[in-house]
Amino acid sequence: MQRATRLALDTQPCDAVVVLGHAADAVFAEVATMAIRRIDCADWPRGMGASLRAGIAALDAACLGVLVMVCDQPYLDAPHLRTLRDAWRRTPARGAASLYASKLGVPALLPRAWFDVLDAQSDRGMRDLLAQRAERIEAVVDEALAFDIDHPDDLRALR
């Protein structure tokens, strides 16, 4: 969690929030000293969509876009996030998303105008939106991001 938060803050965001669900107090304790606001999502069991909607609703009104990240991509690095940020800044009406395993995914940076169509009802988060608007998204390729940590065995594979 600390690593992902540091990487996100390196992009110099207008605002920064972390959306929490299960074990929120313990998780937030890991980043409490960083310049990030805590958002508790009561609906977290409903999935990523609910968490995404809670985080977006909490963003400062001055934010013209949102960088959506997860904390389980061990190969994510600051240069990749800065490339996403810079791609979005060149054309802020469009999105910028990571491309791996032949699909657009997170991290992704979306314009504010797209916020209201995000699916808060499913566990798919923004996967469908990225697929539906692929022609309006600049892809930043990084195949290493396909590897994420879902189980203890995944973590052992890093060693």
Average pLDDT per block of 10 residues along the chain, 159 residues long:
95 96 95 97 88 92 94 95 97 96 95 79 74 96 93 74
Decide: residue 124, CB within 10 A, 0-12 exposed, 13-18 middle, 19+ buried. Answer: middle
Q: Which pTM does this prediction carry?
A: 0.90
Confidence at residue 159, expressed as pLDDT on a 0 to 100 scale:
63
pLDDT of residue 142: 97
Short-list 9, 4, 11, 6, CA closest to 83: 11
The pLDDT score that the predictor gives to residue 40 is 97
pLDDT value of position 115: 82
What are the residue boundaries of the structural domains of the chain, listed by start? 2-157
Alpha-carbon distance of 126 to 124, in angstroms, equals: 6
Residue 128: the pLDDT is 85
Please name which of 151, 153, 152, 3 lies closest in space to residue 75, comparing C-alpha atoms: 3
Q: Domain 2-157 falls in which CATH fold?
A: Spore Coat Polysaccharide Biosynthesis Protein SpsA; Chain A (3.90.550)
Give the pLDDT confidence score for residue 23 in this predicted structure: 93
